[in-house]
Structure 1
Amino acid sequence: MTALDGLPPMSVEPGAELREFAEEMRTLFLGLDAPAADALAARCTPGPEACADYLSAVRIPPWEFVEALLDVLPDAPDRPDVRERLRRSRLAALRVAPPIGWAVRQIEGQLHAAEREVQEADEEAEQAERELARTRPTPAAPDTTGTPGAPADGTGLAQRTALLAEKAGQARERSARAAARRDLMRRQLVLVEGQQGTTAAPPAPTGAAAAEAGGDDPLPKILLVDDRPENLVVLEALLGSHGHHLVSATSGPDALRALMEPDDYAAILLDVQMPGMDGYETAAHIRSRARTRDIPIVFVTAIGSGPDHARHAYAAGAADFIPKPVDPWTVRAKVASFVELHRARRTGR
């Protein structure tokens, strides 16, 4: 039986938006030949059954699935109207899909911002490298005239060469940091998407399952920093039952004292707006210490989540940020992604 033969009937429970989106994708999918349909289903996570869920309006697929479907259609890549219609239809389904749709849209927004930054930084680096190649004289034809707009003497040429090389290097570093954030957001989307159809995030493994998953490793430590106790209560309620060792601090100095403990932390959730030492200053102190500078900092902020705020957060040393009021699914997915990275570093995988 092929993926085309095994499609279940459309779910009777979804709202009109999700049903409309699923029906559009289903029509396109049924236009594939059997090998293409099977290959697309095999690419789904966690397995081919996810493809059936997407096409029967049980779950909302990640945008990557839609892109993969369009890529295997013979004429869809040349029809931007199809892509745009599906994008709008999916967003409409996400807007009315409680409670997980907001988390998906939030993380996807951060993912697309990271992708744009990678592209912009790569373009800037490539431009600098092209200028650098034109500026450097070849052994067979030494530069005697200089490049347009640049000094003709050897000292000026050397300075321009050094500046262009520095500019290209900085752009490549910015691209690498944005690519790391892009990969992180992709993993967070997988973690969020895997929670569809549940009323809460999956509980942490216990007993034999926990021993198999973590061995003798202690529970991952998460430092929560907020000057308002009610905000700490919310975060503790969201994360406390999911296999984390939570440590709370109500100020920047308290957070720095907590970080003097010998055990390492998987992540720090750090409020930005605090009296006295705010989140940015606290992050600067954390980054200045050799033993804590590599702990991922996630700013929790009510200031905003636009591009300017995001750039400020990343420039201050944040690995990620969560806008307030916090979304439970977003918080759990982001913390889970950093716990995965922490465990991978500890085990050397």
Structure 2
Amino acid sequence: MRLVTALDGRPPLGVEPGPELREFAGELRTLFRGLDAPAADALAARCTPGPQACADYLAAVRIPPWEFVEALLDAHPDAPGRPEVRERLRRSRLAALRVAPPIGWAVRQIEGQLHAAEREVQEADEEAEQAERELARTRQTSAAPDAPGAPGGSGAPDPSADRTGPARPADLLAEKAGQARERSARAAARRDLMRRQLILVERQQGTTAAPPAPTGTAAGETGEAGGIELPKILLVDDRPENLVVLEALLGPHGHQLVPATSGPDALRALMEPDGYAAILLDVQMPGMDGYETAARIRSRARTRDIPIVFVTAIGSGPDHARHAYAAGAADFIPKPVDPWTVRAKVASFVELHRERRG
């Protein structure tokens, strides 16, 4: 398999790529041609859904995910030591995405969440490591022979050694490290989820809709298809027109859609919680809002593990994201909703639901 020799023989595109995409693909081709044959073939073999995708990326048919660009840079003999090349490609790719119909906005949105999760993993790991270093020093100091309160040591006993009194510094540091590690694990799970969603968005590139429903499933059909139980998606929004939009986006793609127009309606729908892959939950609702509804769902043993995706118009910045995650959300979708973002996010939770069941 040698893709370089086939690049100039690509068939004409149905839609002429813009100058941004042509420039970006040209930079990728220059780097790709600098690889030896084994490295080029190995890179192509890693592409999803197959090696042909690599040829599409290089021929300006499709915009590659950033992971492909990083893999190309890592495989190139010169590029890894030149950070300016990585930055130029990042800007060039973003320029192509800004004008690329129809998935560009979805990619940028999910990549933003991915990078936020990666930063949180790094920050939480650093906090945990610092607490663990301080804990090690505290234990060494406490174990020193001349430390106050140590066996044979000088000075009065340390009152914090009394387990019935205030928490000892070592206990506080251990708790701090444990909490940071838990936060890192949760952020890492979100990072892995966003990576899965980027792959699902990228598969929609060049199409006008999400992937077709499972084999044997008619559009909008509910129940079972071909002996396979269709996953249920609970849609919660107090505005009927918003439910209509979500149903139009997701209905033809092999899901059982269960609408609810309030928090209490959602809780009633979850009285039989089996089969739910995700809950798309509006935040701003009269009476019981999305946060309270999520708390009620999380308080029930049979529903606490169903992923909640907040659909919110109140913002998508870091503060709103932290609020959503602290309230028990597995993900969030800003309003107005982007069709490809919604489809990819729901598809990722459906995949995870089937993996858990299968």
Instruction: Tell me if structure 2 keeps the 8 A contact 1:8–1:52.
Output: no
Does 2:253 align with 1:242? yes
Does 2:216 align with 1:178? no
Q: CA deviation at 1:225?
A: 0.2
Instruction: Tell me if structure 1 keeps the 8 A contact 2:235–2:258.
Output: yes
Instruction: Tell me if structure 2 keeps the 8 A contact 1:137–1:143.
Output: no
Alignment of 1:133-148 (within 5 A): 133-137=136-140, 141-142=144-145, 144-145=147-148
Name the CA distance, whole Å, in 1 between partners of 2:9 and 2:97. 21
Structure 1 length-normalised TM = 0.93
**1:7 is paired with a residue of what secondary structure?**
helix
Does 2:210 align with 1:201? yes
Name the CA distance, whole Å, in 1 between partners of 2:77 and 2:230. 50
Counterpart position of 2:152: none
Instruction: Tell me if structure 2 keeps the 8 A contact 1:219–1:243.
Output: yes
Does 2:171 align with 1:162? yes
Task: Tell me whether 36-45 or 182-191 shows the greater mean CA deviation.
Answer: 36-45
Q: CA deviation at 1:46?
A: 1.1
Name the CA distance, whole Å, in 1 between partners of 2:102 and 2:308. 26
* Deviation digits for residues 140-178 of structure 1 (CA, Å, limit 9, x no counterpart): 7346159xxxx9853436610000000000000000000
Instruction: Tell me if structure 2 keeps the 8 A contact 1:226–1:250.
Output: yes
2:278 aligns with one of 254, 267, 281: 267
Instruction: Tell me if structure 2 keeps the 8 A contact 1:4–1:34.
Output: no
Name the CA distance, whole Å, in 2 between partners of 1:153 and 1:300. 56
Counterpart position of 2:356: 345
Does 2:227 align with 1:219? no
Instruction: State the AA in 2 paired with 1:254.
Output: D
Instruction: State the AA in 1 paired with 2:170.
Output: T
Instruction: Tell me if structure 2 keeps the 8 A contact 1:297–1:320.
Output: yes
**1:38 is paired with a residue of what secondary structure?**
helix
Instruction: Tell me if structure 2 keeps the 8 A contact 1:222–1:267.
Output: yes
Instruction: Tell me if structure 1 keeps the 8 A contact 2:312–2:335.
Output: yes
1:38 aligns with one of 37, 41, 44: 41
Q: CA deviation at 1:138?
A: 7.4
Does 2:90 align with 1:87? yes
Instruction: Tell me if structure 2 keeps the 8 A contact 1:22–1:56.
Output: yes
Instruction: Tell me if structure 2 keeps the 8 A contact 1:239–1:332.
Output: yes
Q: CA deviation at 1:9?
A: 4.5
Q: CA deviation at 1:208?
A: 8.8
Instruction: State the AA in 2 paired with 1:188.
Output: Q
Q: CA deviation at 1:139?
A: 9.0
Instruction: State the AA in 2 paired with 1:204.
Output: A
* Deviation digits for residues 292-323 of structure 1 (CA, Å, limit 9, x no counterpart): 11100000000010000000000000000000
The aligned length equals 341
* Deviation digits for residues 201-246 of structure 1 (CA, Å, limit 9, x no counterpart): 1220232999xx9863321000000000000000000001100000
Instruction: Tell me if structure 1 keeps the 8 A contact 2:238–2:261.
Output: yes
Q: CA deviation at 1:3?
A: 2.8
Task: Tell me whether 7-16 or 311-320 shows the greater mean CA deviation.
Answer: 7-16
Task: Tell me whether 131-140 or 104-113 shows the greater mean CA deviation.
Answer: 131-140
* Deviation digits for residues 234-282 of structure 1 (CA, Å, limit 9, x no counterpart): 0000001100000000011111111112533110000000011100010
Instruction: Tell me if structure 2 keeps the 8 A contact 1:9–1:56.
Output: no
Any gaps of 5 or more consecutive residues in structure 1? none
Q: Residues 160 and 233 (structure 1 numbering): CA distance in 2 closer, same or farther, change over 3 Å? A: same
Identity among equivalent pairs (%): 85
* Deviation digits for residues 185-205 of structure 1 (CA, Å, limit 9, x no counterpart): 000000000111111112202
Counterpart position of 1:2: 2
**1:182 is paired with a residue of what secondary structure?**
helix
Instruction: State the AA in 2 paired with 1:272.
Output: V
Instruction: State the AA in 2 paired with 1:44.
Output: C
Counterpart position of 1:318: 329
**1:47 is paired with a residue of what secondary structure?**
coil
Instruction: State the AA in 2 paired with 1:154.
Output: D
Instruction: State the AA in 2 paired with 1:264.
Output: G
Name the CA distance, whole Å, in 2 between partners of 1:170 and 1:332. 33
Q: Residues 133 and 102 (structure 1 numbering): CA distance in 2 closer, same or farther, change over 3 Å? A: same
Name the CA distance, whole Å, in 2 between partners of 1:122 and 1:139. 25
Counterpart position of 1:20: 23
Instruction: State the AA in 2 paired with 1:115.
Output: E
Q: Residues 126 and 208 (structure 1 numbering): CA distance in 2 closer, same or farther, change over 3 Å? A: same
Does 2:110 align with 1:107? yes
Does 2:130 align with 1:121? no
Q: CA deviation at 1:345?
A: 1.1
* Deviation digits for residues 92-138 of structure 1 (CA, Å, limit 9, x no counterpart): 00000011100011000000000110011011001101111111137
**2:309 is paired with a residue of what secondary structure?**
strand
Counterpart position of 1:188: 197
Task: Tell me whether 6-15 or 278-287 shows the greater mean CA deviation.
Answer: 6-15
Q: Residues 208 and 273 (structure 1 numbering): CA distance in 2 closer, same or farther, change over 3 Å? A: closer
Structure 2 length-normalised TM = 0.90
